[in-house]
Structure 1
């Protein structure tokens, strides 16, 4: 499904996708591997934004849960970076099944 040459030559872009998801979309347009991880990075980014907005609106309880939610987002990003660095196509837990980029 994913070409070994594509994976090897685009690992850096795949790793970068979890930090700046849009860079692989511009720099590695032809890489299925980079696009897969860019999709995971975009899903993670949107999840982080939604969680921060929702918990930021909820007084007290939301404010207490916000640091834990942000820690969860960071942990998911690290899991994605590790998978990308190892050349794996592995969805992130909980949010990895959503495909936003085709």
Structure 2
């Protein structure tokens, strides 16, 4: 584990910019940061879909808003777990891996 592991794990949840910075500057062998990057990527993708749904309007906007709230809650949970340096997976999305 790197001395910047906590920083990059927390930063990965803060918008796409934080994700990209953490992805590019991390230690490639750090499992803590890798787990949080995977979870943050899933949250960011779901949040992007939610934004598109919200912009469509109508009943889709309601679904987009619900996705946005879910992403906010999951991001806060992820930030807290990253600050504690915990590798415990987040509910619903923690089991999925998009990259190694």
TM-score tier by shorter-chain length is 0.7 to 0.9
1:35 aligns with 2:34: yes
State the structure with more CA Rg. Answer: 1
Specify the alignment match of 2:91 in structure 1.
Answer: 93
Deviation per residue, 1:8-38 (Å, 9 max, x gap): 6411110001112222221113322112111
Separation in structure 2 between the aligned mates of residue 35 and residue 12 of structure 1, nearest angstrom: 13
State the TM-score, normalized to the length of structure 1. 0.79
Specify the alignment match of 1:44 in structure 2.
Answer: 43
* Corresponding residue pairs, total: 96
Q: Report the alpha carbon displacement of residue 94 of structure 1 after superposing the two structures with TM.
A: 1.3
Unaligned runs of 5+ in 1: 1-5
Structure 1 stretches (4+) deviating beyond 6 angstroms?
none
State the TM-score, normalized to the length of structure 2. 0.81
1:16 aligns with 2:11: yes
Deviation per residue, 1:30-52 (Å, 9 max, x gap): 32211211111111101111233
Unaligned runs of 5+ in 2: none
